[in-house]
Structure 1
Amino acid sequence: MENPNTQTLYRYWNELRAGRDAPGRSEVDPRRISGSLETMFILEARDDGQMRFRLAGTRLCEWLGMEARGCMAEAVMAPGHEQELSDLARRVLRSPGVGVMRLRAVDNAGTDWSGEALLLPLRSELGDLARVMGCVNLDAVDRRRKPQPPLRLRSLGSRLTPIEIDPGLAAQDASARMAADPLGALRAPDGGKTGGPSRGFAEAPAGFGHAPREDAVEHRPQLTAIEGNPSAPRDADPTAPRRGRPNLRLVKD
């Protein structure tokens, strides 16, 4: 790891895992790594073995010339190198280990760029090793000189370093996750009662509500139709022909 942003992300992840094989995705606080966010990404391991982008930083998407979120890992690689990133990501989760890939890429102007990619294992909201947090950093990029999209990545080689795990902390962490959530799902700080956001990069779970009481039906919020001017008077007879009125109606709660 040669790029300062790559080193910063690794140090934060290593501190966060605290002797475990990997931290949980919901533990990641973006404010602690604000300088690395623009070139970061999170990959998701799908049931079919493919790796898909769950998140991608704005600068990384600008370099690639596309919104990477929702794309397979192969989409950001150059022809002949399609499987390099996804293969390393699967090895990172299977080992688990820290993956580093040396990169070279050519942008739309024909300029060569060198750099590196870092891949780090994360536990998903279900507690399994199914997420990879990483970043792509290119050398000699500044405000005056930057890639002209689209940019595609080529692997010059990769290395996987096994993670040193403290067995006691790993067992303690597994017990803590099970005690906190027997179903394996990390809930929002408010227990999902108010639908508030969960911590870090975790997605807020859907809240559960009780069936409405019969005596509360009349207090439900009503729908208000807006047609042009919301304060304009409505027709007395809703079945009367609508002369010259638009077909599109906006409705708000």
Structure 2
Amino acid sequence: MKNRSTIAIFSEWQRLALGQSGSLFAPQRESIQPRKLGRHLSDLFFLEEDQNGELIFRLAGTRICALFGRELKTTRFLSLWPERNRPALNELARNINSHLVPALSQNDGISLSGRSLSFEMLLAPLESGEDGRLNLLGSISVLNDVAWAGADPLVLGNLNRIEPLAPDLVVTQEIRKPSIVTMNGANAANSTRRWATPVPTRDMPALRVIPGGKA
């Protein structure tokens, strides 16, 4: 977790999900208070499940929309990634919802002109709707200091790595160093890996034996 917006949004989700009692539950979407997130709202988004069981953007911050060069509201979430990434992301969303365990993913973004940058994406569970449909809180934050971000829109993301996050993860920010993430004792180690992480595999060249020929 490297970006300050990611840390701020995760910390606000923690505050709501753990509460004063320390018991874990999925917060209501309405409980997210804009004034507590301030400028980080530009990197925040909400996902909801539609009638077809697909995840769509209910809301996306202005910086995220600028990054992809369009308004993302009602856009299918998985459409931002190639076909090979979609099963892993779909499974990830279901795991987050059922186990109440947030997750952080590392991604590459490919722009319209072919340039690339790195971004991290947070996904965290929210209380399901009255009809049982899935709701998620998320954030997308660019990790590179590139001047063209927002001017040359991303057309596709590429999922590199997924890591579940303990709900009681302790996040420490330092001014001159990258943000440090530490685990809060045994609880974090146990709770983050109770479900299998659907890590996507890159396309690898297939090797085959060709009969005949000379040694």
Q: 1:153 to 1:15 in 2, by over 3 A?
A: same
Structure 1 position 14 matched with structure 2 position 18: no
Structure 1 position 42 matched with structure 2 position 63: no
Q: Partners of 1:154 and 1:134 in 2: how far apart?
A: 17
RMSD: 2.2
Q: TM-score, normalised by structure 1?
A: 0.58
**Which residue in 2 is equivalent to 1:110?**
114
**Which residue in 2 is equivalent to 1:53?**
57
Structure 1 position 76 matched with structure 2 position 80: yes
Give SS of 1:97's match: coil
Q: Partners of 1:131 and 1:51 in 2: how far apart?
A: 9
For the Cα contact (< 8 Å) 1:96–1:162, is it kept in 2? no
For the Cα contact (< 8 Å) 1:25–1:124, is it kept in 2? no
1:146 counterpart letter in structure 2: A
Deviation at 1:128, TM superposition (A): 5.4
Q: 1:38 to 1:84 in 2, by over 3 A?
A: farther
Count residues with an aligned counterpart: 163
Q: Partners of 2:27 and 2:132 in 1: how far apart?
A: 11
Give SS of 1:93's match: helix
Please show how residues 76-225 of structure 1 align to structure 2 within 5 Å.
Answer: 76-124=80-128, 126=130, 130-141=134-145, 144-147=147-150, 148-161=152-165, 163=167
Using CA pairs under 8 Å that are at least 6 residues apart, name the structure with larger relative contact order, 1 or 2: 2
Identity of aligned residues (%): 25
Q: 1:118 to 1:90 in 2, by over 3 A?
A: same
2:118 counterpart letter in structure 1: S
Q: 1:118 to 1:77 in 2, by over 3 A?
A: same
Give SS of 2:90's match: helix
Q: 1:46 to 1:90 in 2, by over 3 A?
A: farther
For the Cα contact (< 8 Å) 2:46–2:138, is it kept in 1? yes
**Which residue in 2 is equivalent to 1:4?**
4
1:3 counterpart letter in structure 2: N
Deviation at 1:87, TM superposition (A): 2.8
Q: TM-score, normalised by structure 2?
A: 0.68
Deviation at 1:136, TM superposition (A): 0.6
For the Cα contact (< 8 Å) 2:109–2:154, is it kept in 1? no
Q: Partners of 1:160 and 1:90 in 2: how far apart?
A: 13
- Name the larger-Rg structure: 1
Deviation at 1:38, TM superposition (A): 1.1
1:113-165, Cα deviation, whole Å (9 max, x unpaired) = 112100011114539572100101111246x342511332110011224546x
Q: Partners of 1:12 and 1:28 in 2: how far apart?
A: 8
**Which residue in 2 is equivalent to 1:243?**
none
Q: Partners of 1:79 and 1:65 in 2: how far apart?
A: 21
Q: Partners of 1:128 and 1:141 in 2: how far apart?
A: 40
Deviation at 1:81, TM superposition (A): 2.2
Q: 1:58 to 1:88 in 2, by over 3 A?
A: same
1:32 counterpart letter in structure 2: K
